[in-house]
Structure 1
Amino acid sequence: MNLRSPGYNKTLYVYDDRLPKRAVIRNYKESDFQELIEVQKESFPPPYPAELLWNEQQLANHVQLFPLGALCIEVEGVVAGSMTSLLVNFDPKKPQHTWAEIADDGYIRTHDPNGNTLYVVDLCVRPAYRKLGLGQMLMQAMYEVVVQLGLQRLLGAGRMPKYHQYANEISANVYAEQVLAGKIHDPVISFLLRCGRTPLEVIPNYLDDEESLGHALLMEWRNPFKSSS
């Protein structure tokens, strides 16, 4: 596993209607912290719990403990989104966990340099930039990190923000099945499916999230260059 990577930096173009705009995906750093906090506020308005938004100490831990897993995307010089991850040693036979447990409440002191899995702690894009496909570009960048480090998989649990609309009629498991069947469109789960993620199982009590009623769908992306055994 190459943990001495020089970092991630990619220049590309995104299209705003027919207008190409220069974008850069790179590792975020201390000078980005205030803008990253603003990105979080715009991306997760109430009723999302304000205490779950990044603070400066959490961001400092991200860049100190695992800088390769701390990515942001700029569009013409403006930080428009970010994605954060850590390494964990995941056992598929014991998939149940909470976000707080695995992410150390966002401080990622649970980061394991010898882990087999890149775990997504957070992905957010400013609403004004969401039509540009930045979330998928960030996800692709993290897949490249998985390959670079020779990991087994990328893993993360997606919120189910429309579940509260159906909770009186169906269980969280049935809701996830109906999203997979195309009968329900969930803005998070459907997005992750389009990014190439595949579902493992529903996790209850994953996150204090009113819209999902605490549920999340654990989803992975397997490294195609690693054995599935």
Structure 2
Amino acid sequence: MTHDIKTVELRNLQLEDYKQLKTSMIEAYPTMENSYWKEEQIEKLLDIFPEGQLVIVVDGKVVGSALSLILDEDLVDKNHDYKKITGNYTFSTHNDDGEILYGIDVFIHPNYRGLRLGRRLYDARKELCEQMNLKAIVFAGRIPNYAKHAEELTPKEYIEKVKKKEVHDQVLSFQLSNDFHVIRVIKNYLEGDKKSKEYAVLLEWNNIYYEESPKYFNTDKSIIRLGLVQWQMRSLNNLEEFFNQAEFFIDAVSGYESDFALFPELFIAPLMADYNHLSEAEAIRELAKYAEPIKKKFQELAISYNINIITGSMPYLDGEHLYNAGFLCKRDGTYEMYRKIHITPNEVFHWGITGGDTIQTFDTDCGKIGIIVCYDVEFPELSRIMADEGMNILFVPFLTDTQNGYTRVKHCAQARAIENECYVAIAGCVGNLPKVNNMDIQYAQAAVFTPSDFAFPSNGIKAEATPNTEMTLIVDVDLDLLKELHEHGSVKIMKDRRHDLYNLKKLK
């Protein structure tokens, strides 16, 4: 179904969520009697292990949850059923000093399935397991499609067919795709689970960091993964073809668990071919009509693929003024707009674009970032102000037609990384676009630049794409290295400025 979603939040369960939690559980398990936890049971879970109880909240409504206990490994290894493992639903089996994070429930309201919200809950559980220094996540998963195959397949045979993708089971298939492996089959696990014939599959995910010093949940991430899209200009028949191409790349970089996807400046230009009979100024104003549906679609993709998307840029009409603007679509469902501030002579002459007037940074779940568009990177004042506001990563979507233009963007981006002690990621378009006026040729090489000190590459280049070839660039950056640089670098550029002689400030 199509979802018109404004916000998505993953957080710990609170007792005041109970009524919504109960409603969503009943909808999620329509064929099972007494399919919801009682309020006193939820209160008990929150009393003994509040960190392990998670919810997904969409536009203020609880639509999914993951509930957990910490158990002794010996208890999990023994043959058990649902009543026994939960202490007959009293949770007396919970032990703060146990080794195993045991999942007792995961569900998503049926109206919100297909958005990968369940995967988000599982990822949060994995993070919790690592941060609490627990050995593994274990749970007994239902096999609700088994009843249809019970006459011809044993549970073991059914599991093998699901593994080989010869049979699809909406629960087991999902678990296997999330890196869980089968330990054994449990008989008579959940009374009344007719679809599974009361069988369950005991599944495990191992924490490879077990025995490292424990951390705490919801601490700031240090390693941030960037997915840069080097976009090939090609003819597109309609907006749907554009969305399919964009989703392909979002799927690809999110498959590597990237935190950000960065698209280039004006990468929607192929859609302008339908207006090539008009003047350049008229054609780009027609293209601006796509800005709103593109923003809405990328919001949905950010939620669905659990990734923050920087939409490059596109023409955007605000009243009579035409801007070169883009959107930061966050994986929590919210979005923010940015506008190119410095407009090239070409953009003014051919398209009549107006420069934006807001210098800003953006708060994300990976820290504070900055976004400037192409020509903006050649003006050092912008990123210096952003760095003063705490920016760690500067994203620069660009579009250059020649190597001369690219050289300006590249070397200015490298300078911004050094002088502001931050990472700078750039991504542009490549190839030719013969049926669109003023957009004939493009040259690009996506890259991530770093400061220049011992903890970073000696040339200040973390990674570069192949020039003028459509591809993605997946790069990890370590924010802790920036903290070390600020305090103990060979030089301390941000600290050694002579504020007694000069200063820089925003006028708006």
Q: Distance in 2 between matches of 1:18 and 1:163?
A: 30
- Find out whether 1:140 has 2:123 as its counterpart: yes
Does structure 2 conserve the Cα–Cα contact (< 8 Å) formed by 1:163 and 1:213?
yes
Secondary structure of the structure 1 residue equivalent to 2:37: coil
Percent of aligned positions that are identical:
33
- Find out whether 1:150 has 2:133 as its counterpart: yes
Aligned to 2:163: 180
Does structure 1 conserve the Cα–Cα contact (< 8 Å) formed by 2:26 and 2:35?
no
Does structure 2 conserve the Cα–Cα contact (< 8 Å) formed by 1:198 and 1:220?
yes
Could you list the runs of 5+ residues in structure 2 that have no partner in the other structure? Answer: 212-508
Shift of 1:204: 0.7
Does structure 1 conserve the Cα–Cα contact (< 8 Å) formed by 2:41 and 2:89?
yes
Secondary structure of the structure 2 residue equivalent to 1:101: helix
Residue 200 of structure 1 aligns with an amino acid whose one-letter code is I
Aligned to 1:43: 28
Root-mean-square deviation (CA), in Å? 1.9
Q: Distance in 2 between matches of 1:169 and 1:77?
A: 45
Aligned to 2:385: none
Secondary structure of the structure 2 residue equivalent to 1:142: helix
Residue 223 of structure 1 aligns with an amino acid whose one-letter code is N
Shift of 1:51: 2.5
Shift of 1:125: 0.6
- Find out whether 1:222 has 2:206 as its counterpart: yes
Q: Distance in 2 between matches of 1:195 and 1:153?
A: 14
Does structure 2 conserve the Cα–Cα contact (< 8 Å) formed by 1:146 and 1:152?
yes
Deviation string, structure 1 residues 9-28 (Cα, Å, up to 9, x no partner):
xxxxxxx8697742111111
| Equivalent of residue 69 in structure 1, options 21, 46, 52 | 52
| CA shift in 2, pair 1:144/1:213, >3 Å | same
Q: Distance in 2 between matches of 1:110 and 1:162?
A: 30
Does structure 1 conserve the Cα–Cα contact (< 8 Å) formed by 2:188 and 2:199?
yes
Does structure 2 conserve the Cα–Cα contact (< 8 Å) formed by 1:106 and 1:121?
no
Deviation string, structure 1 residues 160-185 (Cα, Å, up to 9, x no partner):
11111111111111111111111110
Shift of 1:137: 0.2
**Structure 2 length-normalised TM:** 0.40
Aligned to 2:176: 193
Could you list the runs of 5+ residues in structure 1 that have no partner in the other structure? Answer: 1-15
Q: Distance in 2 between matches of 1:71 and 1:200?
A: 25
Q: Distance in 1 between matches of 2:35 and 2:114?
A: 25
Does structure 2 conserve the Cα–Cα contact (< 8 Å) formed by 1:156 and 1:220?
yes
Q: Distance in 2 between matches of 1:36 and 1:99?
A: 20
- Find out whether 1:211 has 2:195 as its counterpart: yes
Q: Distance in 1 between matches of 2:14 and 2:139?
A: 23
Deviation string, structure 1 residues 38-68 (Cα, Å, up to 9, x no partner):
111010001x1x2242111111111011101
Q: Distance in 2 between matches of 1:32 and 1:82?
A: 11
Does structure 1 conserve the Cα–Cα contact (< 8 Å) formed by 2:162 and 2:173?
yes
| CA shift in 2, pair 1:65/1:23, >3 Å | same
Q: Distance in 1 between matches of 2:152 and 2:25?
A: 32
Residue 152 of structure 2 aligns with an amino acid whose one-letter code is E
The structure whose Rg is larger is: 2
Secondary structure of the structure 2 residue equivalent to 1:196: coil
| CA shift in 2, pair 1:193/1:21, >3 Å | farther
Aligned to 1:82: 65
Does structure 1 conserve the Cα–Cα contact (< 8 Å) formed by 2:25 and 2:35?
no
Aligned to 1:22: 7
Does structure 1 conserve the Cα–Cα contact (< 8 Å) formed by 2:5 and 2:59?
no
Shift of 1:106: 3.3
Does structure 2 conserve the Cα–Cα contact (< 8 Å) formed by 1:90 and 1:117?
yes
Secondary structure of the structure 1 residue equivalent to 2:201: strand
